[in-house]
Amino acid sequence: MRLTADEAQRRFLGSPIARLATIAGDGAPRVVPVVFALVDDALVHVVDHKPKSTPDLARLRDVAAEPRVALLVDAYDADWTRLWWARADAVAEVVTGGPTWRRAVAALQQRYVQYREVPPTGPVVRAVVRRWSGWSASKG
């Protein structure tokens, strides 16, 4: 059954991780897991200290070239009556400093102890949610 926007948002925000989908320069989809926080009407995530193969991340290039993104969370269970997913369709931007960056990092630090221990310093992707949607196998 289709979830209301409010229920999709509630379930989404209850998840500790989402998958960010961007569109590569050649039009191919690209998906990467991210931790996130909600700041006003935007989902934010940051390029953090975890090892990366390069500082020139594809997701940052993708967002700069094509700001339409989607973020997805889901719940899988062997009991398929408990399956659900929630999606945020958004328009994103890369933020590298200033008050918007500081608010995003503060929200992420509040949500994730790892960021309190090692504060992130990288760019923030700020995705303003235009639509919440979702599906559940049951009403519960």
Q: Is 138 part of any domain?
A: no
Say which CATH number the domain at 92 has.
2.30.110.10
Q: Does the global pTM surpass 0.85?
A: yes
* Number of domains forming the structure of the chain: 1
pLDDT of residue 35: 97
In DSSP terms, 34 is beta-bridged to 18
- Please compute the mean of the pLDDT values over residues 82-96 and round it to a whole number: 97
Q: Is 82 part of any domain?
A: yes
pLDDT digits (tens, 9 = 90+) for 94-130: 999 999 999 999 999 999 999 999 999 999 999 999 9
Question: In angstroms, how far is CA 134 from the centroid of its own chain?
Answer: 15
pLDDT(83) > 70: yes
DSSP 3-state of 97: coil
- Please compute the mean of the pLDDT values over residues 66-92 and round it to a whole number: 97
- Residue 76 has which token pair? 């899988």
pLDDT of residue 140: 61
pLDDT digits (tens, 9 = 90+) for 21-76: 999 999 999 999 999 999 999 999 999 877 666 667 899 999 999 999 999 999 99
Q: Is 62 part of any domain?
A: yes
Backbone angles phi, psi at 116, to 5 degrees: -75, -35
Q: Is 140 part of any domain?
A: no
Q: Is 129 part of any domain?
A: yes
Q: Where are the alpha helices (H) located in 16-133, listed in sequence order?
A: 58-65, 98-111, 113-117
Rounded to whole angstroms, how far apart are CA atoms 34 and 109?
A: 14
Q: Is 28 part of any domain?
A: yes
- Which range marks the domain in which residue 103 is found? 5-133
